[in-house]
Amino acid sequence: MILEKNQIAAAEAASGKTETQLMELAGKRCADTLLHEYPENDSFLILCGSGNNGGDGFVIARHCLAANRQVAIILMLDDIRTPAAIEARQKLPDSCLIYGYQELSETQFQTMAQRYDVIVDCVFGFNFHAPLPDFLRSAFRWINQQRLPVVSIDLNSGLEADHSLGDPDALHSELTLALGALKPVHLFSREHQKLDRLIPIGLGFAEPEASRWIQMDALQVTRLLPRLHDNDYKNTTGRLTVIAGSPWMAGAAQFNLEAAQAMGCGMLHALVDPAVYPILQAACPHIVYHPNTLSEADLTALLNQSDAVAIGSGCDHLANLETVLERVLHCSSVPVILDAAALRCLARHPEWLNTPHGDWILTPHVGEFSALCGRSVEEIQADRIRCAEEYALAHQVTLVLKGADTLIISPEGLRCVNKTGNPSLAKAGSGDLLTGMIAALAARGLTPMEAACCGVWLHGKAADKAIEKTSLYGVHHKEILAGLDAFLFDHQKELWR
Ligand SMILES: NC(=O)C1=CN([C@@H]2O[C@H](COP(=O)(O)OP(=O)(O)OC[C@H]3O[C@@H](n4cnc5c(N)ncnc54)[C@H](O)[C@@H]3O)[C@@H](O)[C@H]2O)[C@@H](O)CC1
Ligand SMILES: Nc1ncnc2c1ncn2[C@@H]1O[C@H](COP(=O)(O)OP(=O)(O)O)[C@@H](O)[C@H]1O
């Protein structure tokens, strides 16, 4: 379950518990987790803020003291502002060591931080908004530089709940305990690299009625995958046209096509430069090839017989890409998946986006997205969700913003962050496989958002399967396709009715 900041109050009210009761529950469960995760003689230094996140820290301190652990609290901000936190502070035993950060010298603070085994970060929770005050920025920066073991409660202080980043000096934790539900920022853990491990702590919250967040897992994906029926025929299992490859870049077309075939696509047509045809014919003999010089009428006829079109992978040297792309975008009534050179071409023709169009799935990496949306890479990385959502909504496209934690946004603003995959995919050609997979799923009848979410999840899962048998270095397209097949084989029964 994922809750945005403005949905938390409703979840809290629906739970029937008061703020104090929730804080007691959260603090107890966090303390139990800490006591379980860290051995008996480990001591805890709890950094508390002024809100309820700080209040959680007081409850944790009480339970850890009761378990005979050595505990000290540092109040990082001057006042304690919320009634529940004030109450929790009052329940602390007199024996609890409590210091004010402002009263400690820098050396005293640093000595304490190093003397305790674990720092428990209760400075800010979901109501933090960047930037960090300067005095906390320097304290956090120092803790991060020393690589001290930190456990963050709910959110790493300095991260913002609903955004992918927050303040760049947010605390780095080895463990974060997410309270009640995941917040959007937890989904971007690989990207912001601020937390190594996440444990959800349940508080009995119910799933919100309407959520913008889609979560994919094996069950969800196998439910979405099209079933094969005994009387299926090549024209009923997805007809896909791929426009890919060009002289010096034939492999991109091969990867599109092999991935689409692995995804069960029944009928594959490829529009290619005649110079690469002999190579592709040898590599993928089961495809029907057409020259990229096809007449307008023949191209339209081909598009009319397709259930989806993929265009752009490795098309950098395709002489007439612009003409073909414009025709595809304006004539095709089926989903079009745009990748690589097609995205760069689209960036040069923003007017194509501003006229009413069909279902387009754009699959840029951040550099390509920067060219499309006119923002710098840094600006996008600082707030991927907002930049991607603004673009998808304004131009009515399904956007797949690739990278670790690939973000997928539908034209209606539905969001999905992918959690499968590993750095074996950080290799040229991985994106070509993804395009083929998404296109095949769209050709087989999934909606653009379903095809994008399912394709991205399976692409990552295939890489996860691949590294069970091959080293991270050694994984290449064959291992990814074998990984995909291994997953599909495991779910064979669900795919055949
Ligand atoms: N409602 C819930 O679902 C529960 C919430 N709990 C805890 O409550 C937390 C949220 O508590 P709060 O709403 O009090 O908010 P926080 O604890 O996130 O603290 C926000 C406080 O910090 C201040 N602040 C925000 N940004 C700042 C900045 N840049 N510089 C200086 N000060 C800044 C705010 O003005 C506010 O006083 C959660 O993260 C969680 O730890 C738990 O107690 C249990 C259940
Ligand atoms: N560190 C990583 N973790 C997970 N996935 C990754 C990682 N690096 C790259 N990928 C995935 O690999 C693919 C790379 O695509 P792209 O950059 O377009 O490569 P190419 O165009 O050369 O095929 C994307 O789907 C991306 O999300």
pLDDT at residue 211, as a whole number: 87
Residue that is last in its domain, among 157, 192, 211: 211
Assess whether 135 and 243 both reside in one domain.
no
Domain count, the chain: 2
Residue with CA at minimum distance from ligand 2 atom 21:
431
Among all bound ligands, the one having the nearest atom to the CA of 154 is 1
Is 383:162 a contact under the CB 8 Å cutoff? no
Is the pLDDT assigned to residue 497 strictly greater than 80? Answer: no
Q: What average pLDDT does range 220-243 have in this prediction?
A: 94
Q: How high is the ipTM of this complex?
A: 0.90
Assess whether 202 and 304 both reside in one domain.
no
- Amino acid 260 reads A
pLDDT at residue 323, as a whole number: 96
CATH number at residue 305: 3.40.1190.20
Which residues have C-beta within 8 Å of that of residue 87, sequence separation ≥ 6?
20, 55
User: Helix H segments across 116-151?
Assistant: 134-146
Model confidence band, residue 248 (pLDDT cutoffs 50, 70, 90): very high
Assess whether 101 and 239 both reside in one domain.
no
Is the pLDDT assigned to residue 460 strictly greater than 80? Answer: yes
Q: What average pLDDT does range 255-283 have in this prediction?
A: 97
pLDDT at residue 178, as a whole number: 98
Assess whether 157 and 101 both reside in one domain.
yes
CATH number at residue 51: 3.40.50.10260
Model confidence band, residue 382 (pLDDT cutoffs 50, 70, 90): confident
Residue with CA at minimum distance from ligand 1 atom 38:
125
Assess whether 291 and 241 both reside in one domain.
yes
pLDDT at residue 164, as a whole number: 83
pLDDT at residue 181, as a whole number: 95
Assess whether 201 and 140 both reside in one domain.
yes
Q: What average pLDDT does range 86-103 have in this prediction?
A: 96
Using the atom order of ligand 2, give the atom closest to the CA of residue 368.
18
Assess whether 158 and 235 both reside in one domain.
no
Q: In what order do the strands lie in the sheet with 71-75?
A: 97-100, 71-75, 44-48, 118-122, 150-153, 175-179, 198-201
Assess whether 142 and 36 both reside in one domain.
yes
Residue range(s) defining the domain that contains residue 77: 5-211
Instruction: State the distance from the centre of ligand 1 to the C-alpha of 124, rounded, in angstroms.
Output: 5
Residue that is last in its domain, among 211, 237, 252: 211
pLDDT at residue 389, as a whole number: 97
Is the pLDDT assigned to residue 310 strictly greater than 90? Answer: yes
Assess whether 273 and 182 both reside in one domain.
no
Assess whether 204 and 259 both reside in one domain.
no
Q: What average pLDDT does range 317-339 have in this prediction?
A: 95
Assess whether 207 and 229 both reside in one domain.
no
Residue with CA at minimum distance from ligand 2 atom 26:
403
Residue that is last in its domain, among 160, 194, 211: 211
Q: State the chain's mean pLDDT as an integer.
A: 96
Is the pLDDT assigned to residue 332 strictly greater than 90? Answer: no
pLDDT at residue 283, as a whole number: 95
Assess whether 229 and 175 both reside in one domain.
no
Q: Per residue in 11-59, pLDDT tens?
A: 988 899 999 999 999 999 999 999 999 988 899 999 999 999 999 999 9
The three-state secondary structure class of 66 is helix
Using the atom order of ligand 1, give the atom closest to the CA of residue 25.
44
pLDDT at residue 390, as a whole number: 97
